[in-house]
Amino acid sequence: MHWYEKLNQYFPVEEMKSKEHMETLLKDRPDIYHKDEGPNHVLMYAELASFVFIDYLFVSKNARGQGLGHKLIEKMKRKGKPILLEVEPVNYEDSDTEKRLYFYKREGFEHAMSIGYRRRSLATKEVNTMEILYWAPNKASEELIYEAMKKTYDMIHTYRDQHFYGKSYEPVEKVLTFNRESANEDVLENL
């Protein structure tokens, strides 16, 4: 099965980029957008100078529980940069959402409690809320994670969106929000 079909079957339609969008990112931005593919996994990620963004991580059902996801995350951690990703909030009617969140928590990822993410899907027209998770080797502030997410949104998610979807996604200021009070509370708790 083609790598895109694997992702498309696993991830909700509102989270998926088109095949053309992803292939164009791989072709136009090979310096930052990458695909790591094996018989039992697909990992799509962007690596910039100061952070890594995991766009999609898929491990086939027959390989789950064997440490493959852990090995892929460890490979990203060895880069020594903060790693960020988006996950859909836990939906108790969909056990995969709970399993994904548990997996990332077990790998040391934290919720970015001060960052809000609400984007209207061009496929379904519905507004979707996502949670931002991050792993930071040097305890990066959530403000730095927020700036990295804005850069990801502009460089990856909305790259040539008008061309691929016939419409543009909402501007980053409408999609991502930062709650300074919540960020300050987290800093105080860590003192």
- What is the structure's pLDDT at 95? 61
Q: In the predicted model, what is the mean pLDDT of residues 50-67? A: 91
pLDDT-derived band at 160 (thresholds 50, 70, 90) equals very high
Q: Is residue 185 scored above 60 in pLDDT?
A: no
Q: Is residue 188 scored above 80 in pLDDT?
A: no
Q: Is residue 187 scored above 50 in pLDDT?
A: no
- What is the structure's pLDDT at 38? 94
Q: At what angle do helices 19-28 and 3-10 cross, to 10 degrees?
A: 130
- Residue 90 vs residue 12, higher pLDDT: 12
Domain spans, the chain: 3-189
Q: In the predicted model, what is the mean pLDDT of residues 20-27? A: 98
Neighbouring CB atoms inside 10 A of 103's CB total 17
The CATH number given to 3-189 is: 3.40.630.30
Contacts of 109 (CB under 8 A, 6+ apart): 83, 85, 133, 134, 135
